[in-house]
A and B are shown apart, each in its own frame.
Chain A
C-alpha cells in the first residue's frame, strides 16, 4: 500500500491547510491518546504532569508534529528522510510499534474535529496511508 503521486499531492494539500495548527493538533492528539488509551501513559512516567493540555504534553505534541512536518517534506523517501528518528525510536525510545497506530488514529480524529470540511474521505485515505508509511519508516531499525 505505497503512496501514489495522487496520495502525496493530497497529503501536501491537506498539510498546507492544517499545518498552521500543528502545535494544537499535536497537543490535542497526545492528550487524547493518554486519555483514550491509558496504557500509553507507561511511556511518560518520567513527566511530572500527564494531564491533557499540561506543559510536558503540549511540548511533546509540538515535537511529534515537527516530526510529521519533516516527514511531509521527505515524502518521496521516508526511509532515508526519517533515518535519525528511526534510530532514536529503535535504540532509545523503543516504543512498541502498535502505539504508532494508536497515535495516528488520534491525529486523524483531531484533524477531523478541527477541519471537518477539509478532511474529506479522499484526504482521509491519503493521510492514513501517509501516517502508516511514517510509522513503517520509524520502525525500520527495530530489528
Chain B
C-alpha cells in the first residue's frame, strides 16, 4: 500500500507541462491589456438575453448598448442555460466574461412572473461578485423624444450622474442599485477632461421605496456671469422606471478583497532630479560640447567686415594689375 502511495506522489509532481507564449506581437499585446493592473480604468459591459424577451426589453438592451458603445459587447442569441440567481446557472456567464474580458453584465429576460426583467451584475476575477434584478416599466426609447439634434450628446463623452432621493441612503436594495448604476454608467476613469466636451447627464430619482426613475439627458451650457455656466437639462435618451426585485450582495471576504486598492503608487523616478536637505530640489542639466569654430556668428563682427574689405581690395588690385599687363602686352 505504501508503495502505491509513494508512486502516486511521484506521479503527481511529474505532470508534463509546456510553456505557451504567443508567437505574435499582436496576441502578446492583447494578453497584456487583459492582465490585472494596479490602477484600473474602464470596465466593459456584456449585454445578453435569455430564452424569451419582449419588445420593450429588446429596446432597452439595444439602447444600453448604444449608450455604452465604446465599451460594450452585445450578444444577440438566446441563452437558456443562464440563471444568474441560481448556484449552477452562472457558469456560462463566467465563461463569456472570461472570453470577452467584461466585468459588468446586463442580462435581459421576460417571463410571466418577472416581466421585462433585467439582471445587472458585476464580476470579480471573472466570477460573479454581486447581482441586482430590476424590472423595467414605462420605457421610452430615444426615438420617442423630440429635441434639437445638434444638442445630442456624442458617443463616449463622460457623463454627469445625479442621484436624488433619501431612498438611496436608507433602503438597502436602493443603495446597492445606486452603486451598480454608478459602475455601469460611469465610463472610463480619466485624469484630464475637456470642459467643452461635457454634454450628457444621467438623473436617477428614487420615487418610492423600490422604484427608481432613470433618464438620460443632454446638457446645455448657458452663459452666466461667472466662469461656471448655467446647466440646462434636456431629456434626449431612454427613460425608464426600474423596480428592484431581488439582489445579491457580495460575500464579506470577497468584498474586502475587491475593495482593496494599491497603496500609493511608487513615485516614478524623474531623471536628473535629486533633492538635498539644505538646498532643496536640485536638477542636473547636461550640455553637449560646444563647437566654437563652426558656429555661425549672428551679426557681422567688425573684424569680419575688415577682412572682407581687404579681400575686396586685394581682388581689385589684382584685376587692375592684370589689365595693365594685358594693356602693356
Q: Do A and B interact with each other, yes or no?
A: no
* Chain B residues at the A interface, C-beta cutoff of 8 Å: none
* Chain A residues at the B interface, C-beta cutoff of 8 Å: none
